Structure 1
Amino acid sequence: MSEQSRGNVPILLLKTKSAPTDTYEELFTTLDNGRYTPVFVPVLEHRFKRDTLTEVQTHIIKKGFVSTAKGGLATYGALIFTSQRAVEAFAKIVEDIREQGKHAINDLLPDSVPLYVVGPATARGLRSLDLKCPILGEHTGNGEALAAYMLEHYNALHPGPEKSGLLFLVGDKRRDIIPKTMQADALGEERRCKIDELVIYETGEMRSFRENFTSIWRENVENGCVQQWVVVFSPTGCEAMLESLGMLDSQAGRVIATARREDIKIATIGPTTRDYLEDEFSFSPDVCAEKPSPEGIAECIQAFDVDSSRI
């Protein structure tokens, strides 16, 4: 059943609600005295890759993250997470090892192994696992900043060319900024860090997205909403969103200028999604967050609404 909005200004968040809590929901339910009501409309369907889950679990059980007493390097000295789905996949692995009862997880993943994260959502998910590993980097906010942070931190932990690699758990759709930055030839042998990427989940558009999205925004209109916001987090689902809103010329693949809706405004999480909408469909979103975060989205929406009220 589709989640319905009941507030003054619905914020249709084209994402899956994060667990155990979602920072967008926490922020928007209190913003401007409850002016906005967040509604989650999942776009992406994630499927964990069983073979990769098994591979990571085997690395852990065979002490791939533990250096030997004689000074032998571990295969991996850290784990990297830049998505909530990767954290969920890792959680399944940790829970399975615990359920088997054959190994003490804190011996396999000791406090010498940092878990690097890109933001608070990934950090919260990892903290819920109650591991001894330090969780670092949540202040960074994006892959570029995280890569810079890891270069400094990991090299401080392991100075010199002899260091364990870092295991990066990723989805099938991701940017390559982290491995490029940390393995760049310009860094030299002393600072260069080996990154192994493992695709642990695959992503596709949910079959039910367009139907759910259409049902929600239309019901809001029928209930008298004079304004709605749609927040877009990735290129996936953009075409279905524009088609649902009646803006897209299906033959030309471009937005019909005269079909733009004044009662529905579009915000993007950052320039990648904004540029995709402009390049693929000749559609310019109303706002684009300067920072890819709940606060960044809130700031650009608030600024737009304030400016609109002055007209």
Structure 2
Amino acid sequence: MSSQPQIPILLLKTKSSPHDGYEDYFSTNGYNPTFIPVLEHRFHRDNLATVRDFFASGAFNADTTTTTSTTTSHNGNNEDNGSDKKYGGMIFTSQRAVEAFAEMIEENGLPFTPSKQPPPLPLYTVGPATAHALTTLRNKYLPSATIHGADAGNGQKLAYLMLEHYNGLYPDTTTTNATAKPSLLFLVGEQRRDIIPKTLMDPARPESQRINVDEIVVYETGEMDSFENDFRDAVSKEVHGQQGLGGKGPLWVVVFSPTGCEGMLRVLGMGPFKNQDQDQGSGAHEKQRDVFIATIGPTTRDYLRETFGFEADVCAEKPSPEGIAEGIRRFMDARGD
């Protein structure tokens, strides 16, 4: 009995280690996933050492911090975290931030024993994939921590969730007792949006409801030099029927960030690159099968739309494998496929 042929899906992301939720989901739900890394990540080890120092100094405990370290405020200025600086939780909005934090812990450990861990520490995250990676880390090293925001979907929604949840942990904080509410430590990449700190520290919000956020850059990101060639090779294999459905049926490309969008469109001959360079023999233009584009969320969809005048076929309502698959299903149902 022959099995149903799998639909090829090219995921423009680095495969997460040790497990990738996208591979787990798609490979067991009728797809043949292929990962094409777009981003190159470099961890900032000095800043990660600073994060470790926060744990060593008691910055997450009720005791007064004894170490002086440098973080970056939401407006990009360096701030001195003196002896009275304490943190009541951490924010992670990318898997790379979790991976950077995890590498720091795996290499150096956390400077306390299980009996002297911080009190229940809220860890805020923006989506299920990041929450899953954070859960593995939490279970091993921070068992008293709690994870919130797996279903938030975007930074704006997460910010509102934090305003309700974190302020709820400090109901007696008033304008005369503002220091009773510790800051949140936000582990970020070099390139990031500032919607979370702006929302939490909005001057228009009552002072007792504001939440101070300190950002510390733990990784930087750039496009891999090899991405465009790697993507061209992967597309060419599928278009010429060397894999999957033998060159028939749909080919899906899932985009996870604005980085790499231009190269993707150029290889596929879409958007502003339609009908260009068709004599170069890349194979991407000789479409023996339909190629469709899905984005992980509205940020990347809007970037494609506003920068290249290109409309993605699917925008996932939730940034997850299930969200992408549901968007694809609806799209194909509407086409009658």
Q: Aligning the two structures, in what range does the TM-score lie when normalised by the shorter sequence?
A: 0.7 to 0.9
Other-structure match for 1:3:
none
Match of 2:103 in 1: 92
Residues 1:14 and 1:112: Cα distance change in structure 2 (over 3 Å): same
Once residues 116 and 35 of structure 2 are traced to their aligned partners in structure 1, the CA distance between those partners, rounded to angstroms, is 37
* Greater Cα offset, 193-202 or 129-138: 129-138
Which of the numbers 2, 8, 11 marks the counterpart of 1:10? 8
1:142 aligns with 2:177: no
8 Å CA contact 1:65, 1:74 repeated in 2:
no
Corresponding letter in the other structure for 1:291: K
Q: Post-superposition shift, 1:109?
A: 4.6
Kept in 2: contact 1:19–1:125 (CA 8 A): no
Partner of residue 20, structure 2: 22
Check conservation: 1:65, 1:108, Cα contact below 8 A: no
Report the AA paired with residue 34 of structure 2: V
Matched residue, 2:169: 157
Choose which of 194, 199, 203 in structure 1 pairs with 2:212: 194
The answer to whether the 8 A contact 1:66-1:108 is kept is no
Aligned to 1:251: none
- Secondary structure, in 3 states, of the residue corresponding to 1:187? coil
Q: Which residue of 1 aligns with 2:78?
A: none
Q: Which of 51, 54, 58 lines up with 1:56 in the alignment?
A: 51
Residues 52 and 220 (structure 1), Cα distance of their counterparts in 2 relative to 1, 3 Å cut: same
- 1:48 and 1:62, CA in 2 relative to 1: closer, same or farther beyond 3 A? same
CA distance in 2, matches of 1:177, 1:108: 34
Structure 2 residue matching 1:298: 3-state secondary structure: helix
Q: Is the 8 A contact 1:68 1:74 kept in 2?
A: no
What pairs up with 1:107-122 in 2 under 5 angstroms? 109-122=117-130
Task: Point out 4+ residue stretches in structure 1 off by more than 6 angstroms.
Answer: 257-260
Letter in 1 for 2:54: H
Structure 1 residue 38 corresponds to structure 2 residue 61 = no
- The one-character-per-residue Cα deviations of 1:141-199 (angstroms, maximum 9, x if unpaired) are 22122111111111111221321100000011211111111111222111111000111
| Distance change in 2, residues 1:218/1:297 (3 Å) | same
Q: In the aligned structure 2, how far is the partner of 1:73 from the partner of 1:108?
A: 20
> Structure 1 residues 108, 235: CA separation in 2 closer, same or farther (over 3 Å shift)?
farther
CA distance in 2, matches of 1:106, 1:166: 22
Cα pair 1:147 1:182 within 8 Å, conserved = yes
Determine which of 274, 277, 295 is the counterpart of 1:268.
295
Number of aligned pairs? 292
Match of 2:134 among 126, 131, 146: 126
More helix by share: 1
SS in 2 for 1:201: strand
Name the residue aligned to 2:71: none
Q: Is the contact between residue 251 and residue 291 of structure 2 (CA under 8 Å) also seen in structure 1?
A: yes
Match of 1:228 among 226, 248, 251: 251
- CA change 1:149–1:107 in 2 (3 A) is farther
Whichever residue aligns with residue 230 of structure 1, its letter is: V
Query: Shift of residue 292 of structure 1?
Result: 2.5
Q: Kindly indicate whether the alpha-carbon contact (under 8 Å) linking 2:13 and 2:37 is maintained by their aligned counterparts in 1.
A: yes
Question: Structure 1 residues 82-91 or 18-27, which shifts more?
Answer: 18-27
Q: What root-mean-square deviation, in Å, do the aligned CA atoms of Structure 1 and Structure 2 show?
A: 2.4
Q: Which blocks of at least 5 consecutive residues in structure 1 are unaligned?
A: 1-5, 249-253
5+ residue gaps, structure 2, are 65-82, 279-284
Distance 1:124 1:247 in 2: 34
Judging changes above 3 Å, is the alpha-carbon distance between structure 1 residues 108 and 202 closer, same or farther for their aligned structure 2 residues? farther
Deviations, residues 44-76 of structure 1 (Å, cap 9, x unaligned)? 11100122112112222111111128xx97611
Identity between Structure 1 and Structure 2 (%): 52
Task: Single out whichever of 122-131 and 11-20 deviates more from structure 2.
Answer: 122-131
Choose the corresponding residue for 1:292, options 308, 312, 319. Answer: 319
In structure 1, the residue corresponding to 2:216 is in which secondary structure?
strand
The offset of 1:267, in angstroms, is 1.1
TM score, norm. by length of structure 2: 0.79
Instruction: Quote the offset at 1:203 in angstroms.
Output: 0.4
Aligned to 2:306: 279
Letter of the structure 1 residue corresponding to residue 169 of structure 2: L
Q: Say whether 1:66 aligns with 2:64.
A: no
For the Cα contact (< 8 Å) 1:81–1:116, is it kept in 2? Answer: yes
